[in-house]
Structure 1
Amino acid sequence: MDAPHYVVNAEAAVHRDGEYLLVERAAGEEHAAGALALVGGKVEITEGRDVLEATVRREVEEEVGVALGRLDYVTSSAFETPDDQVVNTVFLAEHDAGTARVRDPEEVAAVHWLTPDEVRDHPDAPAFTANYIEAVDAHRRRRRDS
């Protein structure tokens, strides 16, 4: 029996002024094409130390041109695609610098700054994306209030 193949993914819910940065995934993407999603991607073995955080910072810069400040791990989940079993990690990331824009049109069709309510009500936001934003926003409010 073959050992399962796992992909590790790290995503950021980038926060600025009460809104979160989401991307509309490009039409050619294999998973969730056209859907609203957090910014992130696969861990590369070359990332080295603090691999999840390094992946989040790299992916956000590559895909939307934004530099991140503080990162807080919030949650993780697992799902399957036709080819892989995926472990997905989600971080709250504070926007540090840069104007969000599409830098990799093969992966990202558009960028959006949305409130948690706008994400929840958006027709292109899958339930998992809305749930991630809800968890991240609750974490951010607890951190702020402590």
Structure 2
Amino acid sequence: MDEYAYVVNVDGVVVRNDEYLLIERGHEEDHASGRLAFPGGKVEQPPDENETIEQTAVRELSEEVGVEVGDVEYVLSSTFETDDGTQCLNIVTLCEYVGGEARPRAPDEVAAVHWLSYDEIEEHEAIPPYIERYADRVEAIRSN
């Protein structure tokens, strides 16, 4: 892989009844294990296909927590470096909740799921500052 390339990661923010769906990352995860985050993962490039940002958000929410979503809207992008030094371009999306009971479907990746209000996210000690920033932006979008 080119040393200047990024891995593209997509976070899917789901809001249901004014509560945000967050996951507790699995303790075996290479990056940010045990931390609270929005569900998401890498854009995949299966043979003879090209996965879009929207398709990645839909797939990751289904695979990780069993939630079905409809419309997917771009929120923001940022960059970060994983614990092993991989450079990532992170794209945050707001996903329309359609149905499904959120539960860990990939226990190695997701230890638990939580529905938290915006205020709870802002006050929660285990939530990283970047997740608070993402929630701030989503709240701004939702209030318009």
1:78 is the counterpart of 2:113:
no
Q: Is the 8 A contact 1:63 1:104 kept in 2?
A: yes
1:65 CA displacement: 0.2
Q: Is the 8 A contact 1:34 1:124 kept in 2?
A: no
1:3 CA displacement: 3.0
Paired residue secondary structure (1:78): strand
Distance in 2 between the 1:112 and 1:31 partners? Answer: 19
Aligned residue for 1:23? 23
How many residue pairs get aligned? The number is 140
Tell me which amino acid in the other structure corresponds to 1:34.
G
Aligned residue for 1:39? 39
Tell me which amino acid in the other structure corresponds to 1:9.
N
Aligned residue for 1:66? 67
Aligned residue for 1:90? 92
User: Structure 1, residues 97-122: CA drift from partner, whole Å, max 9, x if none?
Assistant: 10000100000000001111101111
User: Structure 1, residues 5-62: CA drift from partner, whole Å, max 9, x if none?
Assistant: 310001111011111100000111111111110010000013526x100000000000
Between the two proteins, what is the percent identity of the paired residues? Answer: 49
Paired residue secondary structure (1:139): helix
Aligned residue for 1:105? 107
Aligned residue for 2:12? 12
Paired residue secondary structure (2:142): helix
Paired residue secondary structure (1:45): coil
1:70 CA displacement: 1.6
Tell me which amino acid in the other structure corresponds to 2:8.
V
Please point out which of 119, 122, 125 is paired with 1:123.
Answer: 125
Aligned residue for 2:58? 57
Q: Is the 8 A contact 1:23 1:39 kept in 2?
A: yes
Paired residue secondary structure (1:34): coil
Paired residue secondary structure (1:140): helix
Structure 1 spans left out of the alignment, 5+ residues: none
